[in-house]
Amino acid sequence: MHQTLRRARHAAFLATVLLAVAISGLAQQSFDASLDVAKRATVFIYQASTSDSALAVTCVSTGTLISADGLILTNGGGVIPSRQCPGDTLIISLNVDFNEPPIPKYRAELARADAGLDIALLRINRELDGRLIAPGDLPILPFVPVGDSADVAIDDNLTIIGYPGMGNDPVAVARGTVTAFLAEPLGGGRTWFKTRAEIAGTMAGGGAYNSAGELIGLPTNAPITSFGSTANCRFLDDTNRDGLVNSSDHCVPVGDFISTIRPIGLAESLIRGARLRLNVEPISADPSPSPPLSPPSISRLFFAPSVRGAVPATVVGALPANARSLYLFFDYDNMTAETVVELRVTRDGIPDGVFSLPPVRWSGDEQGLWHIGAREQTWANGAYEFTVLIDGASAGSQQILVGGGADSQSHFSDIVFGALDQSGNLIGNGAIVPLGNAAYARFLHANMRAGTPWSAIWYYRGAEFARSADSWSEDSHGSKVISVAPAGGLLPGQYRLELYVEGALSATSDFYVAGLPGAPLPRVFSDLRFASAGTPNAALNVPAAASFPSDIDNLIAIFSWQQIEAHTPWTLRWLVDEQLFFQQSYRWSLASSGADFLVALPNPPDGSYEMQLLVNGLLLAQTEATVGIGQLPIDRFAQFNGTVLSGTVVDASTQIGIPNIAIVLIGEDYAASEFEWSQEQVVDLATSDRNGVFQFARPLAVDTPYSVVIEADGFIPLAADRFEFTQNQPIADITIELVRG
């Protein structure tokens, strides 16, 4: 090695010239370089089941490497065990040659997942033969930068990368534009991107990229195979061991062409938790819901022009011309993460592909109020019909007319709930009311004429318990407060108010009664604190604290609760250094009041932690603590800041790629002539593949000088000092020519 470096010094002039030429082209990179990196980072995933020591394929999907240590982002439906995908082993195939099918190389484990979002994070952890890979022994793998899906706009160009077949085809590229944003009660109004790109079903879980080469979404679908149809599946293995591969075997779902992209923003907390290897464990209750006994269903379909949180602002039967938002609302029951939902929209009897939602996995809870709609684009005039299908069968439909003049009908809107203070003012948060004798609702009214009949109907647990009807006698515009006082007072649980004008539903909203009176929020959770001990239960007997030393076994959150009924939705959030890494919603499953609910965070790294408790989407309690120095190490999040250097090493005379070339980056404190293969000198190391292609896994900082050493048998080594990147670009691709010597 020392002799090689001496030869490198003698060739310093030639090396500097050649490398300077290569580096000088970095500022002129196009998306083509990023595209090659994205292709190399695209993997094919087999989910398989083990039987008699043999593997049978149960599901297939595409995935994308998002870190050099083998973290893969993909769709949940193809990797999370389910009725449709019952496998227990995940095989990862890598893209070795762009013109050839991927090659099975590793096995992976499920690191983090959200079945409702249809998003999963896998981590490569074993060789293909099942041997465990020790930490740090996995070769550096290509990966892509994660972008910001909030920056995506209508008509933006998309490039989708994935595998179009069952593992026998090379990686494919599809291109299209963003045609619409569809909204459900998650994702801040951007639950789905719609596109007309031709995306094969097996490309589900692959990558959708913006023009900068950043990953901004996952194409996803939900093939329906539960009704005897085999149009969307393939038979690959003799799963029943009868010696034949036919329709009696397990059908591997592939689905139709995909038109929906799940924004990467919905995966941010999952990615962060997986990168940090943080797994929150609720100890005091089993958060897994029991499977519903009845089939899924929907009811009470209606339209709203806008949404406040997750409830309709008002209810409409028609919209004026140039309307830019429209939402279909409905009640749902007996849903699961395996339920497949589809929305078909027609305008004047013609299918509208822009606003329709193809079959996707259910993203919500078991029961409640849901909406699907769109904003940020104009709805053309016409008669629309919305039809919701569940598991391939029609479950309900509703019509609305868009067009005409401005709306001047009498209506109610924006219902909020609370209690009255001593001065008679409504106080509260709008969605949770404490136990007491009465609940109050305030709503807005507009265009109300004197004498107009109106009514209010109150429900508890879905059953009507109070009703009032009257003629309007107040101002035409303004706000009004009404109340309900059931005999025996308010009981914990779910309530609903419906307001009608001239017999037509005009406004509706739900609220929960939980907790004891407090100001301004009900006291549902109390005595929230952190502790640490060898086991979660042992933490009950140690003092609470706000700071803890490094290397603790567990960080335990403990709290008490009061007057919260079973099945009430509540949410658990964890943040580290003010960054969300865990969020999960549950249905309450314990007694209505109690103490010492335990939530464990095993092996937390140094950082500042916060746990939050919410009911019906509203923050009711939170507490903070620090571990160690109170801050994560700077690179623990593996944020993609800087430039990933990639390229090709070629023979200068033939322009053919040279395999197995080591390219060594040296830190700014050392010159190439000082390099002695010590660990503190090396910033990163890359090795060219059989085509001469290489990529450094670590993003390189801008305005930081690097040195480089490149060596290969039969070629003059290169060594050069002080090259740097002067602009922040995700990918820089270069060609390095080696001269035979």
Question: What's the CA gap between 404 and 726, in Å, rounded?
Answer: 56
Question: Does pLDDT of 70 surpass 60?
Answer: yes
- Residue-level pLDDT at 288: 67
Question: What's the CA gap between 571 and 191, in Å, rounded?
Answer: 19
Question: Does pLDDT of 66 surpass 60?
Answer: yes
Question: Does pLDDT of 668 surpass 80?
Answer: no
In angstroms, the Cα distances linking 306 to 190, 313, 315, 408, 733 are: 14, 6, 9, 17, 46
Nearest to 144 by CA among 711, 654, 646: 646
Q: What is the CA radius of gyration of the chain?
A: 29
* Six-digit token string for 165: 């077949």
Beta strands in 269-392 (DSSP E): 281-282, 297-304, 307-308, 311-312, 318-319, 325-333, 340-347, 350-351, 357-361, 368-375, 382-390
Q: What share of the chain is helix, strand, coil (3-state, %, to 5)?
A: 10, 45, 45
Helix, strand counts (H, E) of the chain: 4, 50
Nearest to 715 by CA among 656, 666, 675, 672: 656
Q: What is the mean pLDDT of residues 667-678?
A: 71
User: What is the β-pairing status of strands 318-319 and 393-402?
Assistant: parallel
Band of pLDDT at residue 84, cut at 50, 70 and 90:
confident
Question: What's the CA gap between 336 and 361, in Å, rounded?
Answer: 9
The amino acid that residue 120 corresponds to is A
CA torsion sign, 654 to 656 to 660 to 666? positive
Question: What's the CA gap between 559 and 285, in Å, rounded?
Answer: 13
Give the mean pLDDT of the chain. 86
pLDDT tens by residue, 322-370 = 899 999 999 999 999 889 999 999 999 999 999 999 999 999 989 999 9
- Residue-level pLDDT at 722: 64
- Residue-level pLDDT at 729: 57
- Residue-level pLDDT at 641: 55
In angstroms, the Cα distances linking 194 to 4, 270, 619 are: 55, 23, 32
Question: Does pLDDT of 679 surpass 80?
Answer: no
Question: Does pLDDT of 13 surpass 80?
Answer: no
Question: What's the CA gap between 325 and 306, in Å, rounded?
Answer: 7
* Six-digit token string for 707: 């040195």
Three-state DSSP at 105 gives strand
Question: Does pLDDT of 731 surpass 70?
Answer: no
- Residue-level pLDDT at 42: 96
In angstroms, the Cα distances linking 384 to 303, 349, 373, 397, 558 are: 11, 8, 13, 10, 51
Question: Does pLDDT of 267 surpass 70?
Answer: yes
Question: What's the CA gap between 730 and 518, in Å, rounded?
Answer: 50
Question: Does pLDDT of 29 surpass 50?
Answer: no
Give 437 or 290, the one with higher predicted confidence. Answer: 437
pLDDT tens by residue, 509-556 = 999 999 998 777 889 999 999 999 988 889 999 999 999 999 899 999
Beta strands in 76-155 (DSSP E): 89-94, 103-114, 119-127
Question: What's the CA gap between 63 and 120, in Å, rounded?
Answer: 10
pLDDT tens by residue, 460-500 = 999 999 999 999 999 999 999 999 999 989 999 999 999 99
Question: Does pLDDT of 9 surpass 70?
Answer: no
* Six-digit token string for 306: 């806008």
Region of 31 (left: φ > 0; alpha: ψ -120 to 50; beta: rest) is alpha
Question: What's the CA gap between 507 and 500, in Å, rounded?
Answer: 7
Question: What's the CA gap between 12 and 716, in Å, rounded?
Answer: 10
Q: What is the mean pLDDT of residues 710-722?
A: 78
Q: What is the mean pLDDT of residues 440-466?
A: 95
Give 241 or 271, the one with higher predicted confidence. Answer: 271
The domains found in the chain, sorted by start residue, are 2-30+641-738 (2.60.40.1120), 41-240+248-276 (2.40.10.120), 297-402 (2.60.40.10), 411-513 (2.60.40.2550), 524-627 (2.60.40.10)
- Residue-level pLDDT at 166: 87
Question: What's the CA gap between 492 and 65, in Å, rounded?
Answer: 47
- Residue-level pLDDT at 8: 37
Band of pLDDT at residue 21, cut at 50, 70 and 90:
very low
Give 712 or 320, the one with higher predicted confidence. Answer: 320
Q: What is the mean pLDDT of residues 433-452?
A: 93
pLDDT tens by residue, 618-661 = 899 999 999 999 888 754 434 445 676 778 889 989 999 888 78
Nearest to 699 by CA among 95, 79, 145: 145
Cβ neighbours of 88 (radius 10 Å): 12
Size of the chain, expressed as the number of residues it contains: 741
| Ordered DSSP codes for 27-63 | GG--HHHHHHHHHHTEEEEEEEEEETTEEEEEEEEEE
pLDDT tens by residue, 141-196 = 888 889 999 999 999 999 999 999 888 999 999 999 999 999 999 867 789 999 99
Residues whose CB is less than 8 angstroms from the CB of residue 21 and which lie 6 or more positions away in sequence, other chains included: none
Q: What is the mean pLDDT of residues 579-606?
A: 94
> How many alpha carbons fall within 13 Å on the CB side of residue 736?
36
502-511, 641-650, 660-669: which is most confident: 502-511
The phi and psi torsions of 625 (rounded to 5 degrees) equal -160, 155
Nearest to 148 by CA among 217, 197, 65, 207: 217
Question: What's the CA gap between 5 and 325, in Å, rounded?
Answer: 66
* Six-digit token string for 393: 């069968």
Q: Judge whether 556 and 532 are in contact, CB under 8 Å.
A: yes
CA torsion sign, 412 to 416 to 421 to 425? negative
Q: What is the mean pLDDT of residues 306-310?
A: 89
pLDDT tens by residue, 205-234 = 999 999 888 999 999 988 765 544 445 777
Question: Does pLDDT of 108 surpass 70?
Answer: yes
Question: What's the CA gap between 238 and 517, in Å, rounded?
Answer: 63
